[in-house]
Structure 1
Amino acid sequence: MKPEASVVHGLKAEPKDIPSVDRLLARVPALVEAHGHRFVADEARALLDGLRVRALATELERSELEPATLAAALEARCVQRLTPRIRRVLNLTGTVIHTNLGRSLLADAALAELPALMSAPNNLEYDLASGGRGDRDSLVEGLLCELTGAEAATVVNNNAAAVLLSIAALAGGREVIVSRGELVEIGGAFRMPDVMAAAGARLVEVGTTNRTHPRDYENAIGPQTAMLMKVHTSNYRVQGFTSAVDEATLAEIAHRHGLPLVSDLGSGSLVDLAQWGLPREPLPQEMLKAGCDVVTFSGDKLLGGPQAGLIVGKKAVIERIRKFPMKRALRMSKLPLAALEATLRLYLQPERLTKDLPTLRLLTRPLAEIERQAQRLQPAVQQALQPRYAVSVRAMQGQIGSGSLPVESLPSAGLVIAPLAAKGRGRALEALAKVLRELPVPVIGRIADDMLWLDLRCLERDEDLAAQLASLSRWTIAASNDEAPLE
């Protein structure tokens, strides 16, 4: 039986028509020279195997086996295989510190130091003064103590690790008292009760969800109590008939019973955000002044640095945490440690923070500046999306993000994109969102109220978005000429 004819391209190809790997490689000497024989041969084999499966199913066109077509397909496979999975994107979601989009952006000062430090030996654990073995914590401990007023400090790879290590070192096998209203769950179903169990401590809940009093802690303290813990509910708010015990009161109770008080701030900020008109967050230095023995907080949220868990407090308690065996498994590597040191140094010049620290620069970006940017970009985006979509400038409400100040919003502005067709608006928006994600630099917005919203607070340069519009325009033209357009 003859192969089935193709209406467009002619006869279907058969498995015997598919060339060997060697024949295909002979047609692409430059590709082999660029990437090496083994890599290109593996990709060629995978390409031809896929074509063979389609040929057996009579789904392969002869035109797909043309030498130039096969060579192009192989080159595309090689490029795709070598393209990084982690890519730069444009965050136009309205959430500044976006957990799914890498959280805080590193400052130029941090980025400038990394190439030289990472491409050569460095003094990660070498004391240049004495010529002997050093401690990697010492690279940032002095800065953390200066900025927070702590007696000592240590660092681990994230704040979850900081909490886990602190509990394990100070309360393993014993009891930790926490208010029921502070048993938080953060991203990825990471729950405080589970952390307690993983650290080998027994959780003792006191008070109720909305009200906890000093007597609740007093009555729960017993022979097995190892410490009291205060957890900042940074990712939610309980409002109305509420009561909580402040750190100073809790510290007095803990110390009267010979117990340490540990405070987990979660996001943690080293400066008062209220000075820039932003909602206020508790500061580590305030918790230490109130009497907390240990304070833990993140390095990659409000602080604006790399992923890190910072542990500051009383010297004797920090030493117990530092020497605990689990510390080595949770320690920071040289790359984030170098970035953390460079970020912390920026705080020595607080007047420059809103210029030098990207997180604060974006959070404090003037609304009028964002509105002007939206007005500038609207005509070009409209031209790229016509005649299928209408683009307008709108006021928006963004968020700080990453569990920080969840009920607070940031006035912003941006572009709202709405399908012009009355039917299939949902499908049209999903199609557009997908195309935006597939641009050379993916553009991430959000769909709400039958529109696609592009909040421009985090877009500092017009050209970053403008450079993507040619690709977007080609898709719009192709979709408009489709015989079965979205409608």
Structure 2
Amino acid sequence: MSTTDYRRLIPRTDDLLAMPGVAAAREWLSETEIRRVITEAQQQVRDGEGLPQDVGRTILERLARRESASLTPVINATGVVIHTNLGRAPLSAGARRAVERAAGYADVEMDLATGVRSTRGAGTKAALLAACPAAEDALVVNNGAAALLLAVTALGATSTWGTAANDRAPGDIVVSRGELVEIGAGFRLTDLMETTGARLREVGTTNRTHAADYERVLGATVGCVLKVHPSNFRVEGFTSGVEVAALRALIDAHEAAGGRRIPLIVDLGSGLIDPDPTIPDEPDLTGALRAGADVVIASGDKLLGGPQAGILLGTRAAVGVIAKHPLARAVRADKLALAALEATLRGGQTPVGAALHATSEELRARTDRLAEHVSAAAHTSAFEVVPHDGRVGGGGAPGVPLPGWALALPEEYAPLLRTGSTPVVPRVSQSQCLVDLRCVAPEHEQALAEAIAAVATALSTVTTVDSTTKDGFA
């Protein structure tokens, strides 16, 4: 058959567009995207790859897999609870429901009873204040870095609080050298704060900072005192720092002696509202507020277990100034984040909380069941359950182990698990692929087991083929 005749057998675009399966795909894909899939399938046959009669089936298979967004859901089998590369905190069922409810038109800034404009995020603020009674007021912005930038910009001025923003000059930001942290992707808090036009007044040394170091610099040029909880590292040995209560006492004494009121901003990052015995050294928002912070800052998608958000809690005076600053409009949270955060606060245990508090005994039992299931499906007994410490991640409780267990697989399983039909992200350590169930929801265990068994079967088939080739055809 000639090349021309062969190409005439390829189904027409109009006929392919009329297939029921293509019509169904229009619920989540644009017409342009659908036509692109059809064109690619037709061109593949023109290039001699595939048969004309398979074009329709190929298109339907590709449309079934094609999503309108490129983000791919994965199973987190690393044992790292707040994994930044995997989107940090997974949302609770309640938060997901809230996002879906708010995805269309919603009363984000309207009082339905009166029909007039209302305060944005009022429900979320109420939920925050109920969860943290030590705070007088609250504000939510789009992430933790934005919250810090807004706080030091709005409060760190050399004139009195309440003065019009245009009349206030940036004041010095006093911060300990041991708290000038760099977090993921080379992001440095120093770079962020310097964008405000303020000067950083570093006090103390990397490992030791004393109250006297702060006391020496408190003066008319100081805009604010900032205390930052270090993320992703710990300084041990010959160390000292100044706690929030001691800083509050220094600032109050400075004001009593005739100095201006200097705001105390505490960036805790991880979002722990109250003390947690699982991570006893992690500072909490309630404790910092009771110790005298004017404002505390945290991320919503870390230990709080909610969406990406920057949370500011503090005194009515301090938060009021921050909320009125023009920059607050530029960094405000959207309706989906507000809905998810409120639902997280009003709901029960989050997936982050469940993973953080999973016991070693629970994890051992679950991992043993996984090993039995996978071994039976793959017809092997080579898989071993080994001790494995999980981590909080996301800068929370750095260096604190979360005792647990993992299924140890050969290292070559890792890339195949990550790229399978159900992507699984394990941890690779010491030439092993470690599958930790700490962050795997029980309803995902079956899919995880099937993914591992599929890889085992595929590798077994490759090994058998290689062996046959060497023995029979070399």
TM-fit CA distance, 1:89 = 1.7
Q: Equivalent residues in 2 for 1:6-405 (5 A)?
A: 18=7, 23=12, 26=15, 29-30=18-19, 31-35=21-25, 39-49=33-43, 55=47, 60=48, 64-82=49-67, 84-119=69-104, 121-128=105-112, 131-146=115-130, 147-171=132-156, 173-255=170-252, 256=254, 257=259, 258-274=261-277, 277-346=278-347, 356-385=349-378, 390-405=382-397
TM-fit CA distance, 1:394 = 1.0
Distance 1:302 1:157 in 2: 17
Distance 1:224 1:404 in 2: 33
2:167 — aligned with what? none
TM-fit CA distance, 1:295 = 0.7
Distance 2:467 2:195 in 1: 55
Identity of aligned residues (%): 37
Specify whether residues 66 and 51 from structure 1 end up closer, same or farther in structure 2 by C-alpha distance, changes over 3 A only. closer
Distance 1:105 1:92 in 2: 13
1:424 — aligned with what? none
1:426 — aligned with what? none
One-letter code of the match for 1:177?
A: V
2:446 — aligned with what? 463
Larger CA deviation: 472-481 vs 173-182 = 472-481
Distance 1:486 1:380 in 2: 31
TM-fit CA distance, 1:99 = 1.2
Q: Is the 8 A contact 2:136 2:314 kept in 1?
A: yes
Match of 1:82, SS state, is: coil
Distance 2:109 2:45 in 1: 54
Q: Paired residues, what number? A: 444
RCO higher in structure (CA 8 A, sep ≥6): 2
One-letter code of the match for 1:161?
A: A
TM-score (norm 1): 0.83
TM-fit CA distance, 1:160 = 1.0
Match of 2:382, SS state, is: strand
Q: Is the 8 A contact 2:11 2:55 kept in 1?
A: no
Q: Is the 8 A contact 2:274 2:285 kept in 1?
A: no
Larger CA deviation: 453-462 vs 394-403 = 453-462
Partner deviation per Cα, 1:107-126 (whole Å, 9 max, x = no partner):
2333333333434x432112
Distance 2:238 2:249 in 1: 25
Match of 1:397, SS state, is: strand
Distance 1:113 1:43 in 2: 33
Specify whether residues 75 and 266 from structure 1 end up closer, same or farther in structure 2 by C-alpha distance, changes over 3 A only. same
Partner deviation per Cα, 1:334-356 (whole Å, 9 max, x = no partner):
1111111122224xxxxxx5xx3
One-letter code of the match for 1:139?
A: G
Q: Is the 8 A contact 1:180 1:206 kept in 2?
A: yes
Partner deviation per Cα, 1:194-226 (whole Å, 9 max, x = no partner):
111223322111111001112211222343211
Distance 1:304 1:185 in 2: 23
Partner deviation per Cα, 1:407-463 (whole Å, 9 max, x = no partner):
100000120013xxxxxxxxxx24x21221123321110111111101111234232
Superposition RMSD in Å: 2.9
Unaligned 5+ segments in structure 1 are: 1-10, 347-352, 419-428
Q: Is the 8 A contact 2:153 2:196 kept in 1?
A: yes
Larger CA deviation: 22-31 vs 98-107 = 22-31
Q: Is the 8 A contact 2:378 2:457 kept in 1?
A: no
Q: Is the 8 A contact 1:125 1:134 kept in 2?
A: yes
Q: Is the 8 A contact 1:279 1:408 kept in 2?
A: no
Partner deviation per Cα, 1:333-382 (whole Å, 9 max, x = no partner):
11111111122224xxxxxx5xx322112211121111111111212223
TM-score (norm 2): 0.85
Distance 1:66 1:464 in 2: 33
TM-fit CA distance, 1:157 = 1.1
Q: Is the 8 A contact 2:203 2:209 kept in 1?
A: yes
One-letter code of the match for 1:445?
A: P
Specify whether residues 473 and 448 from structure 1 end up closer, same or farther in structure 2 by C-alpha distance, changes over 3 A only. closer
1:448 — aligned with what? 429
Distance 1:186 1:406 in 2: 12
One-letter code of the match for 1:369?
A: E
Specify whether residues 445 and 469 from structure 1 end up closer, same or farther in structure 2 by C-alpha distance, changes over 3 A only. closer
One-letter code of the match for 1:472?
A: V
Distance 2:227 2:352 in 1: 26
Unaligned 5+ segments in structure 2 are: 158-169
Distance 1:237 1:15 in 2: 70
Distance 2:32 2:298 in 1: 47
